[in-house]
Amino acid sequence: MSEILTIDDAATRWSPGERARMPLLVLLHGYGADEHDLFGLSAYLPEGIAVASVAAPLTPPWPMPGRSWYPIEGLDGRSSAAVTAAAEALLRWLDIAAPDAPSVALLGFSQGAAVSLQALRLAPERFGAVVALSGYAAPGDLPDDEVLAALRPHVFWGRGTHDDVIPPALIAHTAEWLPSHADLTGRVYTGLTHSISEEELADVRQFLTRWLENVPA
């Protein structure tokens, strides 16, 4: 049985100002980072949204700093069950933290991207859009994958040609799986490593602006 994980809401960083009944973008950091890591992206995002940057529920093995969404070490590293446990924790957090948001989008980097896509698979009708940067879709089937394929939610998947962190087999799986389960905007950035570029952020801003245009007033 997978460990039941809990996201510490006290560690969540929220954008300043009013956030009641505003569209919400949730930021999910990568392995070894924390809730502060992606918060600096707020300046690159469209206006008119609330932003919440959450802290992953696990601590990676010493001496790695920060937090992690699931283990990457050992024979069971990057297991789909562990990714699912993290996504379930995110959904429970959303139940409490943002029950009245008119629309919720996710933006995840690396591990955070994998968890974002898994949360979308667990609750396809819950999210208006997902941005997955330098990440992947976990292998295996989930009960609502057919619902996801019918709904075809908007997903942005960006990665670099020089990213040597995500295993090639997971990239190949994602490249095959995503187009049949989402309305996919895919971008591959020449020379980009396991990181985020300003060119990619400009594309993300445009993608999220389209999401906002479809949120009911």
HEC readout, 99-148: CCCCCEEEEEECHHHHHHHHHHHHCHHHCCEEEEECCCCCCCCCCCHHHH
Q: Which of 15, 145, 194, 195 is catalytic?
A: 194
The pair of three-digit structure tokens given for residue 145, joined into one six-digit string? 């994958």
Q: Which two tokens stand for residue 93?
A: 């957090």
Q: Which of 79, 110, 116, 134 is catalytic?
A: 110
Distance CA 198, CA 44 (A): 9
The answer to whether residue 194 is catalytic is yes
Q: Does the annotation count 163 as an active-site position? A: yes
Of 52, 185, 28, which is closest to residue 113 (Cα–Cα)?
Answer: 28
Active site annotation includes 110: yes
Any idea which residues carry the catalytic annotation? 110, 163, 194
